[in-house]
Structure 1
């Protein structure tokens, strides 16, 4: 018997230690307790936050253990409250050989109604802390729960207390991680909305500036044109006055163009500051700036030909902005792909007095109709896009005497190619 009990303890302890998910742990505990104690039914009650809660019940029906883990009340309709409270106070197990003949239990509502025979109630202790109780009963026979079985169940209860606490901590950790993930997702969404709102605000300010600043010269053009027509409609036409109005129109148009150029420079934040630098080094720095974002999106970046010195003359920061925009556009285009590799490459080639940088992705690509408009301001294929990134890239490259081309890549994806002129020999 002792050998069998030792084997039972080892088997159940191993089973309990192997479970971390609370639902499966509770099922393993009640099922093995009923099977090894010879009980007909069992109840697990936990003591948490200074209150009792019935975690689960199990019954043997037609030779099979049926488990219920739905919410049940801790009252006389579920288990003998007096026995559970006595075990909780003493922190010692209680064995009742025949509850029907026990005078001390005659007043318990559960005992009077259910009339169980054999009862075993074991405390679940984690160190000196009460975790709960395991209540077992058998209604068919008395003296079912022998001292040896009670001792085995007490050892099992000790193991179960630790396992239940670990499972509780695991459950709390999972819940915290879920809450953190939800908070992070909400934060990302909020930041995205904030970024969009900021860009819209900036765009709105730019539009407001254009309307305010350009409105006056345009109004002057309209007034001068109307006046010129009136002078020409006279008989005879007053050519001198009409000429003067046309001169006013020309000056107003020039003023409007100057205002627009100034606003465009302001939107770009800075005028190009040209200097000689190593483009390969600058592009490696740009790739490092977006490495975290690419990793988050599951994108793998491969760089080719950037270790060889690539001397160019231009604004280092703005050309890095071009590279960052193209890399992020390519990475975002692969967001809708099924889970799997998301390759992205940035390669460099030299020749014919130019440096060519090629950025390729494996996204779904876009149709030829949309491809014609990609470099136009305010045109976008993204749900939340502003349509300014590629337009800004083109304006930067134009200022550097370079070019930007976008075309489909076979079998899927897009290829962005921008080129820059190499400085003449001896140019510093």
Structure 2
């Protein structure tokens, strides 16, 4: 722009309106993709009605499309307000060459801006992903910690309950006249075994939290099951449950962790006993061990309770899911993980008449331990 005889160059983004250029002329060039050179366009019947032409009355106008590979990327508009016929054919040809180069420059600038924006979007997405992964890791740690706490509360609660029951019984025996020393001694022995079991459970849970490798050995499963039955005897008596043992007289060897497998058996026995709490008839619980022809050993716990509701059958092994009013939903989940770590399978199924059969299957070792 020439202002007071001097050339003034301004560079700014402005809206595409009749305030800054002849809209109809520019639109015609963009539509036809052909350049226009006009002298005194305010006298032209084609452009005289344009609002900008009528108001500014430019003397010489040149407008050429900016093309890149037959694609319109912009329009170059030039005007001279002082003289007509400024844009000669030679000048127009030069400007068309410049317009061609400008088209490439504009398109490259647009592509660069797009690339910068994409990189910024990718950086933002990566930052959001890192934040999400951090939150997920924190949530996972909190969930694992919560499950560990629930496991400790659930599993240690059983031997502590046995300690409380046995301690109360021992006090009653000692309070008699004369004191029943032999019975009290038996209760104290039971307290000692329960305390040892609680310690073993805590050590096992700590090892699991540290992801330590389990310490498996060759063991007599039937002997371990008899010990587990003895540990819950007082609890079953308090619930008026009669426990019957079947097939536990002969040794059956497996490769595993004694405390963990006893933990599974006690969970199944406790669940079976509690399921019969509302029965007015005999409360019979059967713990059985059988040797399968498939070199597997089958352990089952049969109760006479209300059985398994079909709508919850698929969720019983989920952590923190429970059907008990005061349950924590960890017993079966822990038992499932233990049996799975031993290469076995934990199952829960309704019995033909009434009640539930809970059990697990483990690989059996022969007498030589193979």
Residue 9 of structure 2: SS of its match in structure 1? strand
Residue matched to 2:155: 213
Residue 150 of structure 1: SS of its match in structure 2? helix
Q: CA deviation at 1:159?
A: 0.4
Contact 2:66–2:72, Cα closer than 8 Å, also in 1:
yes
Q: CA deviation at 1:168?
A: 1.5
Q: CA 1:216–1:209 in structure 2 vs 1: closer, same or farther (change >3 Å)?
A: same
Residue matched to 2:104: 162
Q: CA deviation at 1:112?
A: 1.3
Of 110, 132, 139, which aligns to 2:52? 110
Q: CA 1:86–1:246 in structure 2 vs 1: closer, same or farther (change >3 Å)?
A: same
Residue 92 of structure 1: SS of its match in structure 2? coil
Computing the radius of gyration from Cα coordinates, the structure with the larger value is 2
Contact 2:40–2:57, Cα closer than 8 Å, also in 1:
no
Q: Which structure 2 residues correspond to residues 10-409 of structure 1 after superposition, within 5 A?
A: 39-40=1-2, 63-70=7-14, 72=15, 74-229=16-171, 239-271=181-213
Residue 271 of structure 1: SS of its match in structure 2? coil
CA distance in 2, matches of 1:237, 1:97: 129
CA distance in 2, matches of 1:246, 1:117: 116
Runs of 5+ unmatched residues, structure 1? 1-38, 41-58, 274-428
What do the CA deviations read for 1:205-254 (whole angstroms, capped 9, x no partner)?
22222211110111222333344455556677665554443322211100
Q: CA 1:135–1:168 in structure 2 vs 1: closer, same or farther (change >3 Å)?
A: same
What is the aligned length? 215
CA distance in 1, matches of 2:89, 2:95: 10
CA distance in 2, matches of 1:141, 1:255: 107
Q: CA deviation at 1:154?
A: 1.4
Residue matched to 1:422: none
CA distance in 1, matches of 2:106, 2:159: 79
CA distance in 2, matches of 1:113, 1:253: 101
Q: CA 1:63–1:237 in structure 2 vs 1: closer, same or farther (change >3 Å)?
A: farther
What do the CA deviations read for 1:275-296 (whole angstroms, capped 9, x no partner)?
xxxxxxxxxxxxxxxxxxxxxx
Q: CA deviation at 1:123?
A: 1.3
Residue 104 of structure 1: SS of its match in structure 2? coil
Q: CA 1:187–1:108 in structure 2 vs 1: closer, same or farther (change >3 Å)?
A: same
Contact 1:97–1:119, Cα closer than 8 Å, also in 2:
yes
CA distance in 2, matches of 1:235, 1:102: 131
CA distance in 2, matches of 1:61, 1:244: 118
CA distance in 1, matches of 2:70, 2:202: 78
CA distance in 1, matches of 2:140, 2:204: 21
Residue 61 of structure 2: SS of its match in structure 1? strand
CA distance in 2, matches of 1:237, 1:213: 33
Q: CA deviation at 1:119?
A: 1.3
Return 100-109 or 126-135, whichever deviates more.
Answer: 100-109
CA distance in 1, matches of 2:12, 2:144: 60
Contact 1:60–1:66, Cα closer than 8 Å, also in 2:
no
Q: CA deviation at 1:137?
A: 1.8
CA distance in 1, matches of 2:141, 2:161: 29
CA distance in 2, matches of 1:180, 1:226: 67
